[in-house]
Amino acid sequence: MQIILLGTAAGGGFPQWNCWCPSCRVARADPQRALPRSQSAAAVSADGERWFLLNASPDIHAQLGRLPRGAPSGVRYAPVEGVVLTDAELDHTLGLVLLREAGFLQVAATEAVREILEHDSCLLRVTSAFAQVRVAELVPGQAAPLGYRDGCPSGLSVTPFLVPAGPPRFAAADRTGHTVGLLLGDEATGGTAVFAPGCGGIDATVLDALGRAELVLFDGTFWSDEELVTLGISDRTARQMDHLPVSGPGGSLERLAALPAVRRVYTHINNTNPMLLEDSPERAEVERHGLRVGADGMRFTL
Ligand code: MLT
Ligand code: MN
Ligand code: ZN
């Protein structure tokens, strides 16, 4: 199983179009010290040519251009076999409508995510006006095989697990399953990975999934709980926004450092997070704990 981090920034990207926080300033002035990043998405493949997208970001056009692929099988071809969603947030789903030329599009999502996409953001309804969209329901705690568009099995499976979080702010209801992490498995190699770009805490369910994975790709949105408050950007803390901060007591760095997983990498990193700066003390602290700060294009084989 191969996994590529297609985009490692949180919503808005890095630098964010309208942001002049300290790290966005560095990213504009000296990109060597702060690599630009597109919005959060990843891709998984059993053969390195046929890929399942993990979330569909607004930056999907550029991200697909960087996906390894085989020889085009026809005049219309993309190496995308389907999209697996962790939630219905805009940074993870706006790319769906940008795939409307697909003809036939496979989507895997929980019932809660499907409902939000159908009735609240209407992205599924809009996409379905252009493409034939087939949504396979993911049930938290149950492994689901990932099948190719032609119906053949890929040998990959995905098991969604509930993570602590609130629903998107445009969701009409707070349905169970609106936000999940994904435990990915490859039956051929036995490889396992967790993809959890949005996670408000590490409870027993999350810990169980993390403990099964060799590779953990985890929510690195905010460095500290007060990050946006201190910058005067928001009056809500990281935890109030359903993102467990990286630093501090009970933060994700402390928790993830204690995991058996050999590889632990942050993704979905907000542009304000100082660990994005290559030479920051925060970056050094992450690496001292044996973790890495994700960057677009990072590849893993399991
Ligand atoms: C989040 O990660 O909390 C959401 O994507 C928020 C947003 O950008 O709308
Ligand atoms: Mn987000
Ligand atoms: Zn910024």
Q: Measured between alpha carbons, how far is 246 from 276 in angstroms, rounded to an integer?
A: 12
Ligand 1 in reach of 89 Cβ (< 6 A): yes
User: What pLDDT score was predicted for residue 117?
Assistant: 98
Q: How confident is the model over 65-116, as pLDDT tens digits?
A: 999 998 998 999 999 999 999 999 999 999 999 999 999 999 999 999 999 9
Mean pLDDT across 241-266: 95
Mean pLDDT across 116-130: 98
Q: How confident is the model over 167-215, as pLDDT tens digits?
A: 999 999 999 999 999 999 999 999 999 999 999 999 999 999 999 999 9
Ligand nearest to the CA of 276: 3
Distance 98 CA to ligand 2 centre (A): 18
Closest ligand 1 atom to 169 CA: 9
Distance 165 CA to ligand 3 centre (A): 23
Report CA-CA distances (Å) from 34 to 9, 29, 31, 183, 278: 12, 9, 5, 30, 6
Closest ligand 1 atom to 221 CA: 2
Pocket test for ligand 1, best of 18, 40, 90 (most atoms within 8 A of CB): 90
pTM metric for this prediction: 0.98
3-state secondary structure of 263: strand
φ/ψ of residue 281, rounded to 5: -60, -30
Distance 136 CA to ligand 3 centre (A): 36
Nearest to 181 by CA among 201, 161, 200: 161
Distance 91 CA to ligand 3 centre (A): 16
User: What pLDDT score was predicted for residue 262?
Assistant: 82
DSSP string, 136-167: EEE-TT--EEEE-TTS-EEEEEEEEEE-S-PP
**Which has more confidence, 260 or 229?**
229
Pocket test for ligand 1, best of 90, 91, 228 (most atoms within 8 A of CB): 91
Closest ligand 1 atom to 243 CA: 3
User: What pLDDT score was predicted for residue 76?
Assistant: 94
Distance 59 CA to ligand 1 centre (A): 15
User: What pLDDT score was predicted for residue 1?
Assistant: 98
Neighbours of ion ligand 2 (CB under 5 A): 10-11, 89, 91
Ligand 1 in reach of 227 Cβ (< 6 A): no
Whether residue 261 has pLDDT greater than 80: no
Closest ligand 1 atom to 87 CA: 5
* Mean pLDDT computed over every residue of the chain: 97
Q: Measured between alpha carbons, how far is 189 from 175 in angstroms, rounded to an integer?
A: 35
Q: How confident is the model over 204-247, as pLDDT tens digits?
A: 999 999 999 999 999 999 999 999 999 999 999 999 999 999 99
Closest ligand 1 atom to 12 CA: 8
